């Protein structure tokens, strides 16, 4: 027979089980605490919990679990007896989690939600442990909240819980924080079980971006607590960090192998892919992101990796809904986005037997990479296999190497410029994305031709002498204008130096020389007759992501110049998490283009040997060169039109930032606006890609003092114009 104490213990357990139903609504919990003048830290200390946990209880993200649940209910009951709700207070609906409130509340996340999304799983207080393809939420009312604010959820019921989840451990329970504030119980006790649960029950993923593409695999972000729970190290050793993975003999990898899960060749690193071979069209693959292993580069993601789970899910969820589910670094994701929008293959029409086959998808880069030995020698970087017969220490000059890079140019200020008070920097928004928009690029292998007639519509690389182009007299539109060529950079070299003879250029550079009014006569060329506007969809996706996020931060695309400058002032502080998304979108543009010419990354590579990236169809240095060429010439065109109209010349240029001397601190003090309208074809203030924003202002004395201090009359002030900080390290000292 049970003892009296055992019976009392059983009754107490039952009371604890029903205590959750006795709890006030999350909004009322917060009201009671604030009415009593208590902080979340005080309650957390009394209940031996964390402040974040109390915040989650008050926002409805999670619910208290025994034994703390009964104690918390008792506290709230006592507070309710002392601080009753005002009689005029109307019943409150479930609050959106605090992590999703602030200057840009839930509508930010609802911006991309389809009109009729599939309903989220029904709420429950206990974890679902069956094999049914559903999971339960630890937040009452999760269904309504998901309908109101799920950023990445779609009409596809397979992915109703969004593209990703942040897996954390709280009070001994594993939780999956999804987008839109949804939190799921995770019953998995091991990493193989977690992967299986994700594919069977979690309903995570993202629909394909193109008709012939593939759905995005679910992404799990593991916090340090989750790593500990599943037997993984919370940080990598120096040796593991350099290797980019944990050792193959690790016990967790053995667990995966026993469960017949496989890893890609890169192993188990910060961005691990765990899969089983596909059967037919069914994929079984889960991507892991491990922030504490430096998966989220702080240069692009800021302190995202340090955010609490709900906020981390929000940042990555907004990025996933507007760009795509991250597949690795922003650079990797930028490249993967190109492929996702232009899959290399598609299903053919039915044959005589009614069967369909895989065939090349027109407009894509194809399934197979170009043979490394078929690359034009001028287009490949040093160390490429096609250059293996060059002398060991040979340095290729302009006549041997295509060198299309962004500007890094500066000049001494004139006496007239020194009489002005300020240096004002303007920055081109999403400059390289704008350079990719509408650009025709080659899709296949190059054809070598001798003494060709130049065709501006034909993508390729051209050996041509442009040293005769004189910037003192150029065509602007249909008219010839006289300029001070000594104050302008050459549009043909990154350093702004005038070419001295024949050099290799991408099509946009040669086309711009002809546009300036000068004849061009190529000596030879590598041209690509199979071409298309491969990057248009990529540009549009990233442009829309950038504009939507900036709009959420209070910067609209239709602002007047004055309103735009005001809106841009301090926009990042309005919602730091969304500001991180903006940074990541920008990095996706630059990184994705950089990946088109990825260099060797260790692995014992030696010059003259092929490296891994060469086996990708998307290893296309010619496309990268064309985008940079167009971006640089677009900027130069604006500079020339501005000089012809105003007589003002840039003092320094760094990539997409241009510095002018001006009489005031604002770009409006030197940009030629008339009745609110900018100079046609010149610089225009605005948030759209290709338009400009204020980068920073310093006084002229600062610029002269910096150049004197480093004895560098042509020190590039555009590098420091944003905040004026210059260190010895910046100048190699």
User: CA-CA distance, 290 to 202, in Å (whole number)?
Assistant: 19
pLDDT in tens, 524-537: 999 999 999 999 99
639 assigned to some structural domain: no
Would the pLDDT of 109 be above 80? no
Structural domain span for residue 441: 372-406+435-532
Give the single-character DSSP code of 728.
G
Tokens of 531: 């071409």
Least confident residue range of 331-335, 551-555, 600-604? 600-604
Domain boundary among 39, 55, 82: 82
The whole-number average pLDDT for the span 4-16 is: 61
What is the three-class DSSP state of 167? strand
- Segment 18-23 mean pLDDT: 60
Verify that 302 and 167 share a domain, yes or no.
yes
Q: Residue 5's pLDDT band (boundaries 50, 70, 90)?
A: low
User: Has residue 157 been placed in a domain?
Assistant: yes
Report how far apart, in Å, the C-alpha atoms of 415 and of each of 103, 420, 655, 661, 670 are: 47, 9, 26, 11, 18
The CATH number that applies at residue 63 is 1.10.260
Percentage with pLDDT > 90 across the chain: 70
CA gap 294, 288 in Å, rounded: 13
703 belongs to a structural domain: no
**Which residue among 532, 549, 574 closes a domain?**
532
Question: Are 148 and 221 contained in the same domain?
Answer: yes
Mean pLDDT over 245-253 rounds to 95
Last residue of a domain, one of 22, 48, 82: 82
Q: Using only C-alpha atoms, what is the Rg of the chain?
A: 30
pLDDT of residue 330: 97
16 token code pair: 């604890």
Classify strands 219-222 and 164-170 as parallel, antiparallel or unpaired: parallel
- Same domain for 14 and 110, yes or no, is no
Task: Tell me the per-residue pLDDT of 170-180, one tens digit each, with 9 for 90 and over.
Answer: 999 999 999 99
Residue 588 lies in a domain: no
How far is the C-alpha of 186 from the C-alpha of 183, rounded, in Å? 9
Is the confidence at residue 113, as pLDDT, over 60? no
Under 8 Å between Cβ of 512 and 628: no
- What residue has token string 């299903």? 347
| Tens of pLDDT, residues 350-385 | 777 778 878 889 999 988 899 999 999 999 999 999
Confidence of residue 147 (pLDDT cuts 50, 70, 90): very low
Angle between helices 621-646 and 576-595 (to 10 degrees): 120
What's the mean pLDDT when you consider all of the chain?
A: 87
- Inform me whether the pLDDT recorded for 94 exceeds 50: no
> Among 40-49, 323-332, 580-589, whose mean pLDDT is lowest?
40-49
Say whether both 301 and 260 belong to one domain: yes
633-652 confidence digits (pLDDT tens): 999 999 999 999 999 999 99
pLDDT exceeds cutoff 50 at 489: yes
Please tell me the distance from the alpha carbon of residue 166 to that of residue 316, in angstroms, as a whole number: 9
pLDDT for residue 563 is more than 90 = yes
Residue 488's pLDDT band, with cuts at 50, 70 and 90, is very high
Q: Are residues 214 and 313 in the same domain?
A: yes
101: confidence class by pLDDT, cuts 50, 70, 90: very low
Q: Is the dihedral of CA 46, 48, 51, 54 positive or negative?
A: negative
State yes or no: cis peptide before 268, omega within 30 of 0: no
Mean pLDDT of 473-490: 96
698 falls within a domain: no
Q: 627: which 2 tokens?
A: 């985008």
Token pair in block for residue 686: 């605005």
Would you state the pLDDT for residue 8?
62
In a domain, 89, yes or no: no
- Residues 504, 400 within the same domain: yes
List the beta strands (DSSP E) in 192-338.
219-222, 262-263, 271-279, 282-289
- The mean pLDDT value for 456-482 works out to 96
- Expressed in angstroms, the distance from the first to the final Cα of the chain is 84
In this predicted structure, the answer to whether residue 733 has a pLDDT above a threshold of 60 is no
Residue 200 sits in the same domain as residue 305: yes
Q: What is the pLDDT of residue 283?
A: 81
Same domain, 396 and 284: no
Instruction: Retrieve residue 276's tokens.
Output: 């089983």
For residue 107, tell me if it sits in a domain: yes
Q: What is the pLDDT of residues 582-636, one digit of tens each?
A: 999 999 999 999 999 999 987 789 999 999 999 999 999 999 999 999 999 999 9
> Does one domain contain both 65 and 182?
no
Using 50, 70 and 90 to split pLDDT, how confident is the model at 65?
confident
What is the pLDDT averaged over residues 495-524? 97
Rounded-to-integer distance, Cα 565 and Cα 586, Å: 20
As for how many domains the chain has, the answer is 3
Calpha distance 651→717 (Å, rounded): 8
Give yes or no for a contact between 442 and 462, defined as CB atoms under 8 angstroms apart: no
Whether 12 and 127 map to the same domain: the answer is no
Residue 139 has pLDDT above 60, yes or no: no
For residue 140, is pLDDT > 50? Answer: no
Percentage of residues in the chain with pLDDT exceeding 70?
86
Q: What is the pLDDT of residue 10?
A: 62
Residue 323 has pLDDT above 70, yes or no: yes
On the question of pLDDT at 696 being above 80, the answer is yes
pLDDT at 472: 97
63 lies in the same domain as 195: no
What is the band of 52 on the pLDDT scale with cuts at 50, 70, 90? confident
Q: Are residues 385 and 475 in the same domain?
A: yes
Q: Which pLDDT does position 90 carry in this prediction?
A: 40
Judge whether 554 lies within some domain.
no
At what angle are helices 68-82 and 26-35 packed, to 10 degrees?
60
Q: Which residue has the higher pLDDT, 72 or 636?
A: 636
């Amino acid at each position: 027979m049970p003892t009296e104490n055992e019976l009392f213990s059983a009754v107490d357990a039952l009371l604890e089980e029903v205590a959750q139903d006795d709890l006030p609504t999350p909004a009322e919990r917060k009201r009671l605490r604030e009415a009593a003048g208590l902080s979340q830290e005080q309650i957390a200390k009394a209940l031996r919990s964390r402040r974040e946990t109390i915040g989650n209880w008050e926002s409805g993200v999670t619910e208290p679990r025994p034994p703390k649940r009964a104690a918390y209910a008792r506290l709230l009951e006592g507070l309710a007896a002392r601080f009753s709700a005002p009689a005029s207070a109307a019943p409150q609906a479930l609050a959106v989690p605090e992590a999703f409130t602030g200057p840009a509340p839930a509508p930010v996340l609802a911006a991309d939600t389809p009109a009729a999304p599939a309903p989220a799983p029904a709420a429950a207080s206990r974890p679902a442990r069956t094999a049914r393809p559903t999971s339960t939420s630890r937040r009452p009312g999760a269904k309504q909240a998901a309908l109101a604010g799920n950023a990445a959820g779609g009409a596809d019921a397979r992915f109703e819980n969004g593209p990703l989840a942040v897996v954390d451990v709280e009070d001994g329970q594993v939780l999956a924080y999804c987008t839109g504030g949804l939190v799921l119980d995770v019953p998995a006790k091991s990493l193989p079980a977690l992967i299986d649960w994700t594919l069977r029950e979690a309903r995570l993923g993202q629909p394909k971006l193109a008709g012939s593409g593939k759905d995005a695999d679910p992404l799990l972000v593991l916090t340090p607590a989750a790593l500990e729970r599943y037997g993984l190290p919370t940080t990598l050793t120096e040796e593991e960090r350099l290797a980019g993975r944990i050792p193959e003999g690790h016990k967790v990898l053995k667990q995966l192998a026993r469960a017949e899960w496989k890893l890609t060749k890169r192993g188990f690193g910060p961005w691990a892919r765990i899969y089983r071979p596909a059967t037919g069209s069914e994929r079984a693959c889960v991507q892991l992101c491990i922030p504490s292993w430096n998966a989220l580069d702080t240069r692009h993601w800021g302190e995202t990796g340090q955010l609490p789970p709900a906020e981390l899910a929000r940042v990555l969820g907004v990025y996933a809904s507007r760009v795509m589910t991250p597949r690795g670094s922003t650079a990797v994701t930028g490249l993967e986005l190109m492929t996702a929008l232009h899959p290399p293959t598609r299903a053919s029409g039915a044959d005589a037997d009614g069967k369909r086959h895989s065939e090349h998808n027109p407009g894509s880069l194809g399934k197979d990479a170009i043979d490394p030995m078929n690359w034009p020698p001028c287009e490949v970087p040093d160390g490429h296999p096609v250059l293996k017969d060059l002398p060991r220490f040979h340095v290729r000059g302009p006549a041997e190497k295509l060198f299309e890079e962004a500007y890094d140019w500066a000049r001494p200020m004139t006496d007239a410029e020194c009489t002005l008070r300020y240096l004002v920097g303007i920055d081109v928004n999403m400059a390289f994305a704008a350079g990719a928009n509408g650009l025709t690029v080659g899709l296949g292998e190059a054809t070598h031709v001798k003494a060709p007639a130049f065709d501006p519509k034909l993508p390729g690389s051209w050996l041509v002498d442009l040293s005769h182009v004189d910037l003192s007299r150029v065509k602007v539109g249909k008219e010839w204008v006289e300029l001070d060529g000594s104050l302008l950079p050459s549009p043909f070299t990154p350093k702004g130096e005038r070419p001295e003879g024949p050099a290799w250029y991408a099509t946009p550079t040669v086309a711009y020389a002809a546009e300036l009014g000068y004849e061009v006569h190529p000596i030879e060329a590598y041209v690509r007759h199979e071409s298309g506007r491969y990057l248009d969809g990529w540009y549009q996706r990233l442009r829309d992501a950038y504009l939507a996020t900036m709009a959420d931060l209070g910067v609209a695309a239709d602002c007047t110049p004055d309103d735009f400058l005001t809106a841009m002032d301090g926009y990042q502080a309005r919602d730091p998490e969304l500001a991180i998304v903006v940074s990541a979108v920008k990095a996706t543009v630059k990184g994705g283009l950089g990946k088109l010419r990825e260099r060797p990354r260790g692995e014992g590579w030696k010059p003259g040997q092929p490296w891994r990236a060469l086996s990708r169809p998307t290893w296309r240095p010619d496309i990268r060169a064309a985008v940079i060429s167009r971006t640089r010439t677009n900027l130069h065109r604006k500079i020339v039109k501005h000089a012809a109209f105003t007589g003002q010349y840039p003092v320094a240029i760094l990539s997409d930032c241009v510095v002018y001397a001006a009489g005031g601190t604002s770009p409006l003090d030197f940009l030629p606006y008339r009745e609110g309208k900018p100079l046609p074809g010149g610089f225009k203030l605005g948030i759209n890609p290709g338009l400009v924003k204020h980068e920073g202002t310093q006084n002229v004395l600062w610029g002269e003092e910096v150049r004197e201090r480093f004895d560098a009359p042509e020190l590039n002030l555009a590098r420091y114009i944003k905040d004026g900080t210059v260190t010895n390290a910046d100048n190699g000292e």
